[in-house]
Amino acid sequence: MSVAEPDLRISDQGTAPARSRADTRRRLIDAAIDLFAHQGLHGATSARIARAAGVATGTFYLHFRDKQALFEAIVQGALAELRGRLRRAIDGAGADARAQVRARTAELVAFAEDNGRLIRVLFGRRQEAGALAEDVLDALIPGIEESLRARAAAGEVSAALHPGVAAQAIAAMSSRVLAWWVEDPTRATRDELIETLCRMHPVHR
């Protein structure tokens, strides 16, 4: 799994046992995402996650206070990587609003391709992980809304749009479309996906 676990850097600098500890933690997170993706939240009991990670049941609780803490670690890891990628993509896109939206959208699609299991777990059709998905979207939406306000002020999007409503709409369409697409990437080409998402963004009107 390529979702970043930023906290691990500290551990990585520790002793050998500490490195092993970080490995175990990563394996647990990875196993959890796998189980979520393949069997749904239902199949992801702490015992099964531990087993899939190759550790004993009790070891799970040496790394996470409880299952909720594991969920949060997954979400935080996903958010940390996603935010980094989006920031870098936008930074490289220049000042044009449409170009920025396109760069952001393309990076989102790339992230989904790299993290298919995670996207399916968070936003997929059998999304049993609704609460987790909310945490991710809630973390992203304020930024979207703020950006919309700035663009409205700059005349790049219509002032008739309610930024809060539009931010919810953009977050929802992006997450669902990505989940729908990673489930079966033949449903649309990569370019159709990006083009359609960009055209539905208010900045493209």
Contact indicator for 168, 144 with CB cutoff of 8 Å: no
Q: Is 63 in the site for DNA (CB under 7 A)?
A: yes
60 binds, among a copy of itself, DNA, none (CB under 5 to 8 A by kind): DNA
- Hey, what's the torsion of the CAs at 119, 125, 130, 132, to 10 degrees? -10
Contact indicator for 70, 76 with CB cutoff of 8 Å: no
Site for DNA in 65-84 (CB under 7 A): 66-68
> Which span (19-27, 96-104, 158-166, 179-187) binds DNA, by CB under 7 A?
19-27
Q: Show the tokens assigned to 200.
A: 């539905």
Site for a copy of itself in 113-172 (CB under 8 A): 125-131, 133-134, 138, 158, 160-162, 164-166, 168-172
Question: Alpha-carbon distance 60 to 77, whole Å?
Answer: 18
Number of residues that bind DNA (CB under 7 A): 26
Contact indicator for 71, 54 with CB cutoff of 8 Å: no
Q: Which is nearer to DNA, 46 or 168 (CB)?
A: 46
Number of residues that bind a copy of itself (CB under 8 A): 40
Residue 199 CB-density burial (10 A; 0-12 exposed, 13-18 middle, 19+ buried): exposed
CB of 14 to a copy of itself, least distance (A): 16
CB of 201 to DNA, least distance (A): 39
202 binds, among a copy of itself, DNA, none (CB under 5 to 8 A by kind): a copy of itself
